[in-house]
């Protein structure tokens, strides 16, 4: 039989009731699919999945929340904060895999949350819950039952900072979709992105804010970050791409003398090795060395920007901090930029330049310092610092 003759039933997707999440999933939950939601402890996985079930429950879907981590009373307390609808979700607190599978067969929910894959365990294996063998076995068994009964499963998994520990990594090949929940527990903003999706693109990302009554979609993230940008020395605005969407975020740097050998290099929101590379290029090709000073770089709001386009923002923020001058355009707007740095000091173009520029223009940030206007880091820095001089003269 040729593929064209294969009947692929296009089943209607289930909306989670959360627009940003539906987007990331590729248009909602595919019935019978297995979605893995990974994230560090405290990021909001249980909150998000409870909200999803509450919405589905209110839309008349059969749901089930399996918690192997918290007692039913604890889950109730969370649900009370979220919505009245959340209190209607059927819930079981159970750590034994066989009991969970039996409940699935008896209840036959359309959508079920398993929180978490690391805390369920099967008696058949002697290893501890959370070990690689257990996690694999639990996920495989859940998948067999879920596929047979057409139950869509949201599987919650803990990831440690470096993605280690018998975490979701070992399950990525097994599930249909892997969502990553990122951000820092202490901070307000979190992003959800798909790192694998059999039923949609992996280019989507959603931004959320943790409030007292649950996670709220942030639809005007750029406006907020630009509005809050400090415009002080060490601050620039990066035209980033989150998924396929442009996002303006503030990147800050602090450079201060240090007694430590070697000095500290602290990066949050960007890769540490990338920071090291940018500092090396900055010193070697633009004559701005951090030397033996401590360097701290932070992407404001707990957003992570793991993309090469962030290089120039880091470089300009550090340059601005070293020189102690604020960067910006003449009319008091922060300086916007993006671009990748090459090892020879050249500025390299990155994907979606047009979208980044359009987003900056939307907020009146121009001109943008970017590879289309500058071939080298040296030239970009000269322009950025000169823009400052004009501001100073005008003042
Ligand atoms: P949680 O969803 O339990 O995180 P995870 O399941 O990923 O470990 O919630 C994380 C934190 O969010 C928790 O410290 C309490 C806080 N929180 C709020 O701020 N508002 C809320 O409405 C809820 C339910 C939790
Ligand atoms: Mg939890």
Supply the pLDDT for residue 394.
46
Closest CA to 99 of 76, 131, 122, 119: 122
Ligand nearest to the CA of 83: 1
Average confidence (pLDDT) over 337-354: 96
Among 219, 237, 263, identify where a domain stops: 219
CATH number at residue 86: 3.40.50.300
Q: Cβ(50) to ligand 1 under 6 A? A: no
What is the rounded average pLDDT of the residues 68-86? 94
Q: Which residue has the higher pLDDT, 389 or 114?
A: 114
Residues shown for the chain: 395
Q: Are residues 268 and 205 in the same domain?
A: no
3-state secondary structure of 44: coil
* Ligand 1 centroid – CA 115 distance (Å): 13
Q: Is the bond preceding residue 53 a cis peptide, omega within 30 degrees?
A: no
Strands (E), the chain: 34-39, 63-67, 91-93, 111-115, 152-158, 177-183, 189-197, 205-211, 214-217, 235-242, 245-256, 265-268, 294-299, 336-337, 340-341, 347-348
Structure tokens at 122: 């099967």
Distance CA 138, CA 122 (A): 7
The answer to the question of residue 3 being in a domain is no
Of all protein residues, the one whose alpha carbon is nearest to atom 11 of ligand 1 is 42
Asked which of 204, 219, 234 is the last residue of a domain, the reply is 219
CA of 44 to the centre of ligand 1 (A): 5
Domain presence at residue 27: yes
Ligand 1 geometric centre to CA of 103 (Å): 26
* Closest-CA residue to 237 (of 167, 301, 287): 301
Contacts of 111 (CB under 8 A, 6+ apart): 14, 29, 52, 53, 56, 61, 62, 63, 64, 151, 152, 153, 154
What's the token pair of residue 17?
């009731």
For residue 141, being part of any structural domain is answered with yes
Q: Give the CATH number, domain containing residue 361.
A: 3.30.230.10
Predicted confidence band of residue 389 (pLDDT cuts 50, 70, 90) = low
Domain that holds residue 61: 8-219
Give the pLDDT confidence of 262-289 residue by residue, as tens digits: 999 999 999 999 999 999 999 999 999 9
CA of residue 46 to ligand 1 center, whole Å: 7
153 and 231 assigned to the same domain: no
Residue nearest to atom 1 of ligand 1 (CA): 44
Let me know if residue 2 belongs to a domain.
no
For residue 212 and ligand 1, the question of a CB distance below 6 A is answered with: yes
297, 289, 239: which is closest to 273 by C-alpha? Answer: 297
Strand partners, 217: 208
Cβ(47) to ligand 1 under 6 A?
A: yes
Same domain, 92 and 35: yes
How far is it, in rounded angstroms, from Cα 329 to Cα 365? Answer: 8
Count of domains for the chain: 2
Question: What is the token pair recorded at 279?
Answer: 């500092």
Atom of ligand 1 nearest to the CA of 82: 22
Q: Classify 256 in phi/psi space as left (phi over 0), alpha (psi -120 to 50) or beta.
A: beta
Ligand nearest to the CA of 81: 1
Is 65 a member of any domain?
yes
Last residue of a domain, which of 219, 238, 255?
219
What is the average pLDDT across 294-319? 93
Measured CA distances, 234 to 28, 38, 316, 391, 394 (Å): 41, 33, 8, 16, 21
CB atoms < 10 A from the CB of 345, how many?
16
Give the chain's mean pLDDT: 90
Q: Is 68 exposed, middle or buried (0-12, 13-18, 19+ CB in 10 A)?
A: buried
245-260 residue pLDDT tens? 899 999 999 999 988 8
Residue 80 CB–ligand 1 contact under 6 Å: no
Q: Ligand 1 pocket, 168 CB below 6 A? A: no
The predicted model scores a pTM of 0.84
Residue 388's pLDDT is: 53
Residue 232 domain-assigned (yes or no): yes
pLDDT given for residue 387 in this prediction: 61
| Pair (209, 232) in one structural domain | no
Residue 391 has pLDDT above 90, yes or no: no
Percentage of residues of the chain with pLDDT beyond 90: 68
Q: Helix, strand or coil for residue 59?
A: coil
Residue 189 CA, ligand 1 centroid: distance in Å = 13
């Amino acid at each position: 039989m040729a593929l064209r003759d294969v009947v692929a039933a296009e089943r209607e997707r289930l909306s989670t009731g959360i627009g940003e999440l539906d987007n990331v999933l590729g248009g909602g939950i595919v019935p019978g699919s297995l979605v893995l939601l990974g994230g560090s402890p405290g990021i909001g996985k249980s909150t998000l999945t409870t909200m999803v079930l509450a919405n589905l429950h209110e839309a008349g879907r059969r749901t089930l929340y399996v918690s192997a981590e918290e007692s039913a009373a604890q889950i109730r307390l969370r649900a009370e904060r979220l919505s009245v609808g959340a209190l209607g979700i059927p819930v079981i607190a159970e750590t034994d895999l066989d009991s969970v599978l039996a409940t699935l067969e008896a209840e036959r929910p359309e959508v079920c949350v398993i929180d978490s894959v690391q805390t369920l365990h099967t008696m058949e294996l002697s290893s501890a819950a959370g070990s690689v063998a257990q996690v694999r076995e639990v996920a495989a068994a859940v998948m067999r039952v879920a596929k047979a009964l057409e139950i869509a499963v949201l599987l919650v998994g803990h990831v440690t900072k470096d993605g280690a520990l018998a975490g979701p990594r070992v399950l990525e090949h097994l599930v249909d979709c892997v969502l990553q929940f990122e951000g820092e527990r202490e901070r307000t903003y979190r992003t959800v992105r798909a790192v694998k999706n059999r039923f949609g693109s992996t280019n989507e990302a959603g931004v959320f804010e943790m409030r007292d009554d649950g996670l709220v979609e942030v639809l005007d993230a750029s406006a907020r970050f630009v509005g809050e940008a400090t415009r002080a020395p060490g601050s620039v605005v990066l035209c980033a791409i989150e998924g396929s969407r442009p996002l303006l975020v503030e990147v800050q740097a602090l450079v201060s003398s240090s007694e430590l050998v070697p000095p500290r290099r602290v990066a949050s929101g960007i890769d540490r090795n990338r920071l090291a590379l940018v500092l090396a290029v900055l010193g070697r090709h633009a004559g701005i060395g951090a030397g033996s000073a401590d360097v701290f770089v932070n992407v404001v709001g707990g957003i992570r920007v793991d993309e090469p386009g962030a290089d120039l923002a880091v470089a300009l923020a550090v340059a601005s901090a070293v020189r102690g001058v604020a960067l910006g355009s003449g009319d008091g707007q922060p300086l916007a930029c993006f671009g990748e740095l090459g090892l020879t000091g050249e500025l390299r173009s990155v994907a979606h330049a047009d979208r980044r520029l359009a987003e900056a223009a939307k907020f009146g940030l121009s001109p943008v310092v970017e590879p289309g206007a500058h071939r080298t880091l040296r030239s970009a820095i000269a322009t950025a610092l000169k823009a400052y001089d004009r501001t100073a003269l005008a003042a």
